[in-house]
Structures are given as structure tokens and as C-alpha cells.
Amino acid sequence: MATPKTYIVEHLDDELGTWSELEYTCIARESHAAGAKFFLSSIPPELQIPEQLSSIPSFTAETRSVEELFANDKSRVCLLDPAAASDLSPEDGDKFDVFLFGGILGDHPPRDRTRELRKKGFEGRRLGPIQMSTDTAVRVTRMVVQDKIPLDKIPYIDNPELRFNEHESTEMPFRYVKGEDGMPVMPEGMFELIQKDADRGIDDLL
Ligand code: SAM
């Protein structure tokens, strides 16, 4: 039987804000449902992990870094890297059993903070040319390496416009997986959080 896959997000920010919490909870739930493990590494020891995340069975919170965890086993680890020379393929599911992601909020234009992990010498693969949110990057990786769907056969929505009401909408500058309902797949609660942030932005102007 194939070794179960492990998805690791190396948390690179000092805090764990609501946005990251929703993304990490979504990754943990989906990993658990797919028979995989999810590690959140490099967590500052004083950081409190929210109960809705820590209670998911396949989730592990780690204060150690991915380098410490896989010091003698680097060849098992594939870094998902927007600057890698080759794209992820279903065969990479046979070569690697650990997939590493930067726990970085998406920024526009991207600032290449994934280089902090690249410097550590893990072999890298790209998920196509467009920036994804961290939960989308894990979802797409799982579809490629576990479900064996080639990267270019996955249905995507780029830069979706989220419409809150007749007058308000916001464009998300990322690539998402297109769900069966034709909408971008997002963590539970994310739409409401983005709407709240948009309202706050407007309130700040008043
Ligand atoms: N702007 C970011 C940066 O500075 O590198 C990208 C952050 S992205 C929101 C979070 C993580 O998802 C990245 O560190 C990477 O592991 C993964 N990721 C997102 N889009 C990707 C892509 N097109 N190819 C490979 N990895 C990607």
C-alpha cells in the first residue's frame, strides 16, 4: 500500500489571524477526509491553536521547523514553489510523500516569500504560473498526487469576482479550483470574512 501523504504548511508569519485559521482548518478537514496528514510547522510555542483546528484528528501542531522534522529525509519532501522550473505531475505522487507549502498570506503582486523555504534546499515543483491561496495550493496538489489528475485538467477560476449584493463586489487576485456549483472553492466562512473586510474598508473611508 502507498505511504499516506503528508501536507506541511510552514507557518511563516508571527500571528495566526482569522484568514489563516480558516485556511488551515479547511486544509486539515480535507486532508483528514482524503486519508492524509496535515502538519503546521514552526509554530511559535506561545501561539494558541484554535480548538476547531486542534480537534481535527489528522492535524498536528509542531513548534519544530520542517528542516528539523525531515533533517535526514529531505528527498521525501517536495516544496510547492511558484518559481520552480517544472510543474507538479501525478508521477510526483510516487516520488514524494511529503508536500511543503509556505504559510504566507497571498499578496498582490507576490513578494516571493516562498524563497525562505527554497533556500533550505528542498526539491521544488510549480502549480502553474498563477498564485493560489495556500488552501487552494494544497487542494490542487492533493488532486494531482492522490487523485492523479494532471494539473491542466483541473477546472480553475482565475481572479473571481465575489459579489456581496447589487452594489458591492470584490475581485480576488488568485487562482481557485472551480467547484461543482461553478463557484470558486473556498474555506467555510471565508466569503463572510472577505465581505466583513470589504465593509470595514468602506467604513474607514466614511
Ligand atoms: N505571495 C507568495 C509568496 O510570497 O511566495 C505566495 C504565497 S501562496 C498564498 C502560499 C503558498 O502556496 C506558497 O508558499 C506555495 O507553497 C503555494 N503556492 C501558491 N501558488 C503556487 C503556485 N502557482 N505554484 C506553486 N506553489 C504555489
- Residue 4 is predicted with a pLDDT of 92
Q: How much distance in Å is there from the Cα of 106 to the middle of ligand 1? A: 7
Quickly count: other Cβ atoms within 10 Å of residue 89's Cβ. Answer: 15
Give residue ranges with CB within 6 A of ligand 1.
Answer: 80-82, 101-102, 104, 106-107, 110-114, 126-128, 130-134, 137
Q: How confident is the prediction along the chain (206 residues), in pLDDT tens digits per residue?
A: 678 999 999 998 878 889 999 999 999 999 999 999 999 999 999 888 999 999 999 999 999 999 999 988 999 999 999 999 999 999 999 999 999 999 887 777 878 889 999 999 999 999 999 999 999 999 999 999 999 999 999 999 999 999 988 888 999 999 999 999 999 999 999 999 999 887 776 555 55
- Residue 142 is predicted with a pLDDT of 98
| ipTM of the modeled complex | 0.97
Nearest ligand 1 atom to alpha carbon 127: 24
Nearest ligand 1 atom to alpha carbon 101: 16
Q: How much distance in Å is there from the Cα of 102 to the middle of ligand 1? A: 6
Nearest ligand 1 atom to alpha carbon 106: 9
Extents of the domains making up the chain: 6-149
Extract the runs of DSSP E, i.e. beta strands, from the chain. Answer: 6-11, 37-41, 59-61, 77-80, 98-103, 123-125, 156-158, 161-163, 169-171, 175-177
pTM for the full model?
A: 0.94
Q: How far is CA 125 from CA 23, 75, 77, in A?
A: 21, 13, 11
Compute φ and ψ for 124, nearest 5 degrees.
Answer: -110, 150
Here the cell at position 14 is 508571527
Question: What number does CATH give the domain 6-149?
Answer: 3.40.1280.30
